[in-house]
Structure 1
């Protein structure tokens, strides 16, 4: 029987990443997660479904830990030459700091956002590409945001990191790596902990908070599980990568 894809996904302890990890764990093949903590019950779910699961613990802000995780990921890939279909999903992301430009004075918070949202994806992709030359079909999905494509006040850091993610995807595409498809995908506005964090931000720091409060009260937020299913289905479709900067709402 043809083995399923080897799929690597970051940031799986909550939100969209949590939902994707659960879907992947039921799909066969080999799933590799990179997160600060293991996901309770995920190993049992994978075992029941006949899916191989490798959980790599890493804080993406910790440079030394990130280097070790990249080496572990590369080792898994090098020890799985039978996998001809390899995937990398950059899902981990943070929205903080949420403040207008004249209040962005916490250097550590700014650096943390860049480390998680764009430095780690660039670094891990390098290791992924180097270790998957044997693959007949390899795909990199970066979970971006509409924030990277239009400005929103008080999201200077978040918008900048997501815009960088979009441009990075475009650069990788121009390099014409063998058998590689890449896409920076906006997942829509999902009912996750990140949205709760946004709604709890004072209006004095985030004037647009009312829009997100209204979306929540009106039931307009997308369900994380449904979005995960649509996202993973799109990842395996022929449409993936044909548009470098894409939106899952155009495919659901």
Structure 2
């Protein structure tokens, strides 16, 4: 597939899994349009011709909608045969029981975790251009498929991505593949946030502390490589919801 002209959009590319995704796509000679609140100076210096960055508050759906209404996305994908979208940006906050959640934090999480990925997915599907192969990757979570105390907002927003993918498949768009992919437990700043929360907010905190202590967290680089390999494979889109660890075992 990479012998074709392939271009990728990545959200949240300044750190963690998003940074690893952007770097590895660029290393594979795939041009990247990166959307985040800030820029990644290291990647910009290494890949000045291949990386385009847009500073955008992805937690503000109105600003995202305004950007989509412009022509930046269409110009980026113009001439590509294959377009990839990695909806990576997300937040685990607010952590804690429902009565302690701030309304503004809930709105931010829904905007970043749900509204923006769904709007970008629609925009990629609708973008003018020659791409006959468009692949949308929602970065989901095990929390989409299992409920956890203290994570009601995170669980709900990630479950929304899973169900979105299931419904989009029913649209039967031949030029579009979509999958909501759980990446496993990745050693990112989000994991540090989880370990930093109080047990009263997140009763399963000790489990995540043990995963860190015992070296069971996957590195962002290893996870990114698996996600890209999966996205570029013929397996991608065969099911609307997947776990990258299960695919890696079978690949």
TM-score (norm 2): 0.93
Deviations 1:26-68 (A, max 9, x none): 1213210000111012122224xxx522111100122442123
Matched, 1:120 2:116: yes
CA shift at 1:153, angstroms? Answer: 0.5
Aligned to 2:126: 130
Aligned to 1:102: 99
Cα distance in 1 between the residues matched to 2:153 and 2:87: 18
| Paired residues of 2:73 and 2:127 also in contact (CA < 8 A) | no
| Paired residues of 1:86 and 1:132 also in contact (CA < 8 A) | no
Partner SS for 2:41: coil
Matched, 1:234 2:235: no
Deviations 1:106-163 (A, max 9, x none): 1000010000000101111121111056311110000000100010111000000001
Aligned to 1:4: 5
Provide closer, same or farther for how the CA distance between residues 221 and 29 of structure 1 changes in structure 2, counting only shifts above 3 A.
Answer: closer
Coordinate RMSD, CA, aligned? 1.7
Partner SS for 1:251: helix
Matched, 1:36 2:37: yes
Partner SS for 2:35: strand
CA shift at 1:79, angstroms? Answer: 5.7
Aligned to 2:63: 65
Cα distance in 1 between the residues matched to 2:3 and 2:134: 16
Matched, 1:222 2:218: yes
| Paired residues of 2:177 and 2:236 also in contact (CA < 8 A) | yes
Aligned to 1:92: 89
Unaligned runs of 5+ residues in structure 1 are none
Deviations 1:216-245 (A, max 9, x none): 111111111011011111110000011111
Aligned equivalent of 1:170, options 158, 166, 169: 166
Unaligned runs of 5+ residues in structure 2 are none
| Paired residues of 1:6 and 1:29 also in contact (CA < 8 A) | yes
| Paired residues of 1:56 and 1:69 also in contact (CA < 8 A) | no
| Paired residues of 2:77 and 2:129 also in contact (CA < 8 A) | no
Provide closer, same or farther for how the CA distance between residues 4 and 153 of structure 1 changes in structure 2, counting only shifts above 3 A.
Answer: same
Deviations 1:201-229 (A, max 9, x none): 01111111010011111111111101101
Matched, 1:45 2:42: no
Q: How many residues align?
A: 247
| Paired residues of 1:3 and 1:29 also in contact (CA < 8 A) | no
